Structure 1
């Protein structure tokens, strides 16, 4: 039996809200349908940039409720499906979801959580930063594998202003990570940083299950 966890976000416009679950699919047998269990609602607090790091929620620590009884992670829907991101500070700018993973069940380089880019170039995450035009900034981030059987030659592409950075990573699916550093020059007062995986990957134990490199500890800071 497959287990899928999907998270959405919403903003309140009143002191009370009604939550409704509806099956939009059509089954051959009317008596069949998806099973819903362990519903959790968590208040999300907007993270703020600092003088040393312009990236909000740089380590993905502020995010959905971590369900301790599941080992599959949580899928975060793209912005086309959910205008309110369940990952504060970040936009899922892609056709497919990204996966929010926790340290208890996966290899997480720093802190308690990270993001797994599970659907190649269709699984992108982005943030818009306030920058000073013409100023040079440093960009560092950590990539790796989640120790979930995702193996092979990985490549994470990062975009900042007009610059593109490609970071290869050879995964054996047993955990591991590396941190890289780059520099870019801001062109406008708003700079978008975007990350996605160049390739598609599947788990060595389940070739029908998409997986990919993890992303953690994203930092952008002005250089001297």
Structure 2
């Protein structure tokens, strides 16, 4: 689906900049404030501070939707302008944040001419100031644009957020991904309760989703020590993602947010929960489809813990709906890992090649000691 550029421009311009601590686009996060032409050589940005509110290094181009790069016509999902990061280049912006608080960054990216393009994101100061690499080799939408999320814990009240393109094997130094509509959201993770031992089991807390964006936000794989854009949950994979979706653009089983498993067996959604050995546990959850044309009979979600697993089928017509299911098990350790993954690979029925899959939502876990187990399992 092509986006209405004017609509996105209004959305991004109307939102107040998040560099002062609010949720929404960063200052000039949609790059609609242009550099002075005297600081450019054609499309290349020549001065580090030429793009308002950003600092650039390396081969960075300021591009306009519809411009040509060889045989390729460049497109921009939000507004009219974006930046393209060439070999060993970066963009950075200084953010005012609250020390000790967690934040999620969302930005849109499109791969262009290099198959091995790699994006790294980081904040300085941060955890050892090490950049995390986001996998952008797989394109999940037919438009060629995907939105990615990344999270960090603020070490100071002022930090620099950096997006770096480090593909030093490209034959063309100008070749690299296009970046647009960068936004931030402060994360407020919910706490576990006796009624739900999982954190953020309803997925209501997560990365910023740009209003009007029809494709959701990808949550990339992460190490177990990384800060998650989806509080409480880890995405376990080598290079694949899950998709964070909202009820404004998709059908979700419960509340306003959910997760779509778009990468089949190659990725799992995981949470580690503290449990008491020998306690009786019930894991409840919803499985459905996002009303995005992801039709399959059936789609299957695999649900697993250390002491049990279950394959949950869902006959999807791609028009929305869900089923509720449960998995009962006995905890055998001080922690229990809850795992969800899709056992199949799916694309939308419109023939566009957009990757899709079953939706997981409204997940709860309750464990009780054996004397109370009968009441739990009624």
- Shorter-chain TM-score tier: over 0.9
Partner SS state of residue 353, structure 2: strand
Is 1:147 aligned to residue 291 of structure 2?
yes
1:13 aligned residue: 155
Q: How does 1:1-224 map to 2 (within 5 A)?
A: 1-25=143-167, 30-31=173-174, 33-80=176-223, 83-95=226-238, 96-152=240-296, 153-222=298-367, 223=373, 224=375
- What do the CA deviations read for 1:147-184 (whole angstroms, capped 9, x no partner)? 11111121000112220111001111111101002211
C-alpha contact 1:9 1:82 (8 A) present in aligned 2: no
Partner SS state of residue 336, structure 2: strand
Alpha-carbon offset, residue 11 of structure 1? 1.5
Please give the TM-score of this superposition, normalised by the length of structure 2: 0.57
- Looking at structure 2, the residues matched to 109 and 99 of structure 1 have their Cα atoms a distance apart, in angstroms, of 15
More strand per residue: 2
Partner SS state of residue 7, structure 1: strand
- Report which structure shows greater RCO (CA 8 Å, sep ≥6): 1
- Looking at structure 1, the residues matched to 259 and 199 of structure 2 have their Cα atoms a distance apart, in angstroms, of 14
Alpha-carbon offset, residue 12 of structure 1? 1.6
Q: Which moved more, 1:39-48 or 1:202-211?
A: 202-211
Q: 1:102 to 1:190 in 2, by over 3 A?
A: same
C-alpha contact 1:60 1:115 (8 A) present in aligned 2: yes
- Looking at structure 1, the residues matched to 275 and 301 of structure 2 have their Cα atoms a distance apart, in angstroms, of 23
Please give the TM-score of this superposition, normalised by the length of structure 1: 0.93
- Looking at structure 1, the residues matched to 176 and 355 of structure 2 have their Cα atoms a distance apart, in angstroms, of 23
Greater C-alpha radius of gyration: 2
Partner SS state of residue 5, structure 1: strand
